[in-house]
Structures are given as structure tokens and as C-alpha cells.
Chains A and B, each alone.
Chain A
Amino acid sequence: MKEKSLKIALAGNPNSGKSTVFNHLTGGHAHVGNWPGVTVEKKEGRFQYKDYEVTVVDLPGIYSLAAHSIDEQIARDFIMKEKPDKVVVIIDASNLERNLYLFIQLLELGANVILNLNMMDIVSNRGVVIDTKKLSHVFRISIVKTVASKGEGIEELKEAIINESKKTKEPFRIDYGDDIEMEISRLEKILSISEYPSRWMAIRLLEGDKEILQMVRKEGEKIESQILDIKKRLEKHLGYDLETALVEKRYAFLSGLIKESVGKKYDLIERLDISDRIDRILVNRYLGIPIFLAMMWLLFQFVFTLGGPLSDGIKTFMGWVGQSASHGIENLGGSKWLSSFVSDGIIGGVGSVLVFLPSIMLLFLAIAILEASGYMARAAFVMDRFMHALGLHGKSFIPMLMGFGCNIPGIMATRTMESEKDRILTILVIPLMSCTARLPIYTLFAGALFAENQGWVVFSLYLLGIILAIVVARIFKGSFFKGEVFPLIMELPPYRMPTAKGVLIHMWERGSLFLKKAGTIIFAGVVLIWLLASLPSGVEYASKESLIGQIGSVFAPLLKPAGFGFWQAGVALLFGILAKEVVVGTFGTLYGVGEAGLTSVIQEAFTPLSAYAFMVMSLIYIPCIAAIAAIRRETNWKWALFAVGYSLILGWLLAVGIYQAGNIFL
């Protein structure tokens, strides 16, 4: 039986349960885009149902197709350009008016939509009845009710997705009132682009949609001035601005429709939700920040006390693997260098990084729990005043917080920020958040040279990153990004009990990328280093005369003022661009030692002061290559290069400054 294939998109407001629906449809097996280089920002999965193979694309949560933020642009572009077979609009049914706004826009666009009323459990708990027959009749589309968190209604949704019965192809219309309607028809006649419904384009033009305007400009300048004339005329007549008028008409229509199809007074919740009660405490003027700090302390405790023993277990295991490998190779008659390559180079190099897998997974797990429960949004909210005082936008808080796990998801999380200036500023500053990849460096150096105080030393580095971020943001804001910070408007989702499944999937999505990185980039990097250290042939392994020694020697003089002017340090930093963990892996490979040996090597090559300078350098000097690629993707080459440039300069200045000052005063 031949399989038919369909491509569908999931759209909807943030917090409507879209991801939950996605997970139920696709069984949680999502293909999330790899960051290094490959530009796939969408989450895709698939499922099979009857004789259909359906590809599902999970679009970012959006409030409207007006595309104020990058997320909205991406979602809109996908729907407009890739024209999926169906668009499932997932809606929080306990909040119909606001959620249906997007739905109406999609209908006007002529997309083939299915309305998915989710969170029906909340609706029935409140004693509310929604007349889906009526809604279905008015909009002329299929409606499916679900309670995605419990998996109810998913089969019906699949059925609706594959249903091929053609409904009337007449796109849905809202009556915007005679005056506006007249101008819409006028505009429609002039437009000759056939890709999109002309009525939709006319409306978008009246709303000042820049992208459509660009498309239409190719028809010539006249259209633009005509549109301006129309706007002036209408606004004079209406007495206020056109965009607002159009939005109001839509809401008026929705209001009326909802009154007719929803069977209980809808607007105000008479009694306080539990969520609201919790918020009154957590977001309280006085308690908010202390509570937040307590949460952060808990988070770090969780990650490090649980992660420690697990990391030790892996350390031992990797040690055993390394030994067995080298014995095995020698027993099979392999040469010493091969066995050294495998056990010290590969296993030592990659192993020194894998040791951190437990901490990283736990950190992502904690972040996933905070996000799923709804607390993350409150944290951003609570910190808004503080962020504002620093010249940053409240919405930068979550991306920056995520940057502590890994800079890349942090950089991508800025997509929800509406102000482009604030967004770029945040992106430039995120690499100063000590990501988990830098942790191996800190642990190794602090452990080797600061023994009892290592905890404080590591903490000071995290703190330094934060302070620098504030200072740098301030300076950049004053010079490149002048202007008011866009005011904070955030939706606060109701508090929810995170589901184990949801949270684990989320953790795995991010943590597995770390594993892939270890398996590929770090592995490749280590091999490359080993190669360069062994060539030209005949040269002593990892000596100054080897290729890698020569490369490193170029940088050594530059690093001398910072206290680590020997070529191995230069090489480690150079390869650290691939992935910060490689800095540790490089030392391991170059000195041909495993975990225990590294500590003494470091103790010999560095002093406490130069070690601290080195750690500061690693913190600041450059974002890893995947992060640079992410910055480029989210902005452009100019900003990516700028980020690299300022980091290098700042890192060098600080490392040198610390070392020199330390020498004078200590």
C-alpha cells in the first residue's frame, strides 16, 4: 500500500500546550537542529497514522502574524512560504479570546487550519461549555478538543489531520466596517501578486506590514503613496489609528462570537486562582528577589552535590577503559604510539570532558523543571527592575540564565525579545556567562593550584563573568544601543506540575547535543592535536619542534605578560575555540597524561596567579565556534566578528592586568 505523506505545522500562543501536543503526536522523538553551522531552527518529528506518513513541524509560540519578534517572523515565514498541508492551531481553551486572535489571522491568510482546543480540563473544571459545533460552522473548519497533558484527544487530532475532505475554499472574512472594507477592495484591485490572497495582503498593508510592503514595492513607488493616502483618509474618518482599529474589529468579532458559543460568563475569574495566590508571594516586592536567590542556590546545590559522585564514577570508568584499551592494543601487537594515541589522546582527551556529563545533564534538568513549572517567567519578572537598573531588558534574564548551562540555547532564547537593539546587546553579553564547558577548565586549574579554596575560586569566576556582563552591557548600551529599553510585556503562564516525561525529554534534547559535541568536535579536535603534535615525522611527540609546537610558539610571546607564555598554553587556548572543553583535552593530549597526571602537570607549569589569569582568559577570550555560529545566525557577520574581537581584547587585557597587578601586590 503506497504511503501518502503530509507536512503539517503546529502553531499557537506560547503556553498553549503546543509542545505537549507535539510530543504526543511524535512520541517525543524530535529532530532538533544541530547548532554548529546547520541552520535548522524548527523542531520536527513524524508519526504514522492509517496509511499516512505525517511530518510535524513545531513552530515557535507566537501571538500574531504581525511578526514583531524573530520567533514570530520564523513562524510566519514558514506558514507563508513553505505552505504546509495543514496548520494545527493549538489554543488554550480557557483563554479563548486572546488565543483565537492568532487563529483568525491564519484564517485570513487562507491557511488550511484545524482548531485544537487544548486544556479542556480547565474549561470543564470551571463549569464552562464551549459550543464547538457553532465555532466549527462559523469558521468552516474542523475542531478537536484535547487535554494534551493527559494525552486525551490525540487520536481524534490525528484523524482530523489526515482528513482530506475539502471544505469550501472561500477564505474566512471579518467585516471591518464599510469604510475600511471599501479601501480594502480598492487596494485589492491594484495588487497583482498572486502568491497570497489579495485581501490578506491588502489588510496587512493597511497595518503597516514591512515585509509585504517590500514585496509590493517591486510594483513601483506609486502603491506606497496610495497606501499612505488611504491610511490618512481612514484615520481622519475614524479618529484614531488604523492598526488599532483593525485589531479592535477582530476582538469585537471574537467577543461577540464567544458570547454566543461559550456557556458561562467568561471574562473575569471571580475567585483567585491558586496560581495568583502563589504569585502574590513569589513576585512580592520584598520577597521576590530573596526567594529567587534561594532558588538559584538550591539549583546549584542540586547540580553539584548530585553530580559530584556521578562524575567520580565516570572518571574511574574512563580510567579503566583507557588502561584496558592500551593493554589490549599492546597485546595485539600494536605499537606504543598507537596505544598512547588511543588511551591518552582519545580516551584521555574525550574522557576528561565526559566526566562532566552528569553535572551538565543535571543542570539542564533543573532548568527544564523551572521552565515547565512556570517559575522561569516569574524569575524574569522579579529581576526586571534589577535588569532595568543595569540598562538591560527584563526579558534578557532568562537567556542569560540559560547561558550558564550553554551559551547557545541562551543566544537562541533571545528570539522572544521584541526590541532588536536589546536583543543584540543581550546576545553580545551572553558569552560572558560561564557555560558548563568552561567548568572542566576551572575544576582542573582550581583543583590543582587552589586546593581547599577551589570552591571560592570557581565561584569568583562565575561572579566575574556576571560583573563583566553588566559593565560591558552598560558600555555598549551607551555607545551602540542608545535609546529606551523596550518596556516589559510578558505573559505569565499558570503554575503547572512538570511532568516527568516532558522534563526528561527537554533535558535530553539539550544534554544530548553536548554528548554529540563530545563525540564529534572534541574527538576530532583531540585527534587533530595529536596529529599536529606528531608531525613532522620523526619529531619528538608534542615538542616545540612539532607542527603544533610551532603554531603555539607564535602565540607564546603574546601570552607571556599574562603569565603563561609557553606554547602549550597558546595551543590549548587556540583549540579551545572548537569547544571550551578542548582546552583541558589539549593539555591531556599534549602531555600524554590522563586525569591524575594532568593535575601535577598543571601544578608544574602554572603558579596560582598565572592559573587564575589563565582561567580568566578562558572565561572571556572568545565564544566557542558553535556560539559564534549561533551569534552569526541570530544577527549577522558584523556582530559575530565584533563579539570575537571585543572578547579577545577584553580577555587579554584582563588576564594580563590580573597577572601583572598580582605580581606587584602579592
Chain B
Amino acid sequence: MIPLTMAKQGEKVRVLKISGGRGLVQRLTEMGLYPGVEIEIISDGHRGPFIIGVGGSRLGLGFGMIKKILVERLG
């Protein structure tokens, strides 16, 4: 289990947990990010925003957000 900040471009991971206030977590879940979903790192930001692929869509997430998402690498 690692924070999403440590994932690298091209990796596929599964979301385990999102920590944060209700509004935030709800927002993310509505946009397709919730525990159990598989995502792909399209572009990693190194302290800047990440682009992640969820299904067919692409989400841009700011660094503050990335810190709060815990994932596991897919074998």
C-alpha cells in the first residue's frame, strides 16, 4: 500500500483508500475514483498535478489530492 504520489508514469494501480473530508471524497467518487477501482498513471507530476486514467476518462488531480489516495500496484 503506497500513496499515489509514489506511482510512476505508465503504472497501473488499484485504489485502496481515500482519506479526506466528506465533500472531497464524495466528489472523487462521483468522478469515478473510489476504493476498488483500477487506474492508470498517464503522467506523473512530481509535486505537480497528475493525469490518471479511469476507464475511458482522464482526470487531472492536484498534488494535494494525490497525497490522500492510497493504492496498491497491480502485479
Spell out A's residues near B (CB within 8 Å). 63-64, 66, 68, 92, 94-98, 101, 122, 207-208, 241, 243-244, 247-248, 251, 266-269, 275-276, 279-280, 283-285, 377, 381, 384-385, 388, 394, 418, 484-485, 487-494
Nearest CB of B to A572, in Å:
44
- Residue in contact with A276 in the complex, picked from B30, B53, B54, CB distance below 8 Å: B53
Is the pair B55, A418 in contact by a Cβ cutoff of 8 Å? no
A210 and B22 CA atoms in complex are apart in Å by 13
Expressed in whole angstroms, the minimum distance between the Cβ of A636 and any Cβ of chain B is: 22
Q: A63-B31, A276-B53 are in contact. Are A244 and B26 (CB under 8 A)?
A: yes
- Within the complex, the shortest CB–CB distance from B70 to chain A, in Å, comes to 14
Query: With contacts A268-B38, A285-B45 known, is A97 near B32, CB below 8 A?
Result: yes
B58 nearest CB across to chain A (Å): 4
B54 to chain A, nearest CB (A): 7
Q: How far is the CA of A489 from the CA of B53 in the complex (A)?
A: 13
**Chain A: minimal CB distance from B53 (Å):** 7
| Candidates A95, A208, A279; contact of B55 at CB < 8 Å | A95
Whether B35 pairs with A248 at a CB distance below 8 angstroms is yes
Contact (Cβ within 8 A) A488 B62: yes
**Is the CB–CB distance between A491 and B58 below 8 Å?**
yes
Task: With CB as the reference atom, state the residue of chain B lying closest to A486.
Answer: B24
In the complex, chain A residues whose CB is within 8 Å of the CB of B29: 244, 247-248, 251
- B51 and A279 contact, CB distance less than 8 A: yes
Knowing that A97-B32, A207-B26 are A-B contacts, what are 5 other residue pairs whose CB atoms are under 8 Å apart, sorted by A's residue number? Answer: A266-B55, A279-B42, A381-B60, A384-B48, A491-B59
What chain B residues lie within 8 Å of A492 (beta carbons)?
Answer: 51, 58-60
Asked whether A283 and B31 contact (CB < 8 A) given A98-B57, A268-B38, A492-B58, the answer is no
Q: Which residue of B lies closest to A72 (CB)?
A: B30
The interface size of chain B toward A, counting residues with CB under 8 Å, comes to 40
Out of A95, A243, A488, name the residue touching B22 (CB < 8 Å).
Answer: A243
Q: Are B49 and A243 in contact, CB atoms less than 8 angstroms apart?
A: no
Q: What residues on B are CB-neighbors of A384 within 8 Å? A: 48-49, 60, 62
Known: A66-B30, A243-B22, A244-B34. A487 touches B64 (CB 8 A): yes
B72: interface (CB < 8 Å)? no
Given A268-B12, A385-B49, A488-B49, check contact A247 B30 (CB 8 Å): yes
* Other-chain contact of B31, A122, A244, A488, A489 (Cβ < 8 Å): A489
22 interchain pairs, CB-CB under 8 A? A98-B31, A98-B55, A101-B32, A122-B56, A208-B22, A243-B25, A244-B34, A251-B34, A267-B55, A276-B53, A283-B51, A381-B60, A384-B60, A385-B48, A488-B62, A488-B64, A489-B27, A489-B31, A489-B59, A489-B60, A492-B58, A492-B60
9 closest A-B pairs by beta carbon, nearest first, are A488-B62, A95-B56, A487-B64, A98-B32, A487-B65, A492-B58, A490-B60, A247-B29, A64-B30
Chain B nearest CB: distance from A231 CB in Å? 11
Would you call B46 an interface residue if the criterion is a C-beta within 8 Å of the partner chain's C-beta atoms? yes
* B-chain residues with CB within 8 Å of residue A96 when the two chains form the complex: 55
A208–B21 Cα distance when bound, in Å, is 13
B23 within 8 A of A: yes
Chain B residues within an 8 Å CB radius of A241: 22, 25
B60 near A494: Cβ-Cβ < 8 Å? no
Q: How far is the CB of A268 from chain B (nearest CB, A)?
A: 6
Contact between chains at A490 and B59 (CB < 8 Å): yes
CA distance A268 to B28 in the complex (A): 18
Q: Contact check, A248 vs B34: say whether CB atoms are below 8 A apart.
A: yes
Interface contact A388-B62, CB-CB below 8 Å: yes
Docked Cα-Cα span, A485 to B63, in Å, equals 12
Inside 8 A of B63's CB, which chain A residues have their CB?
A: 385
Set of chain B residues within 8 Å of A494, measured between Cβ atoms: 58
Residue of B nearest to A102 (CB): B30
The CA of A96 and the CA of B57, in the complex, are separated in Å by 10
Our pick among B34, B42, B48, B57 for the contact of A247 (Cβ within 8 Å) is B34
Residues of A within 8 Å of B31, CB to CB, are 63, 98, 489, 491
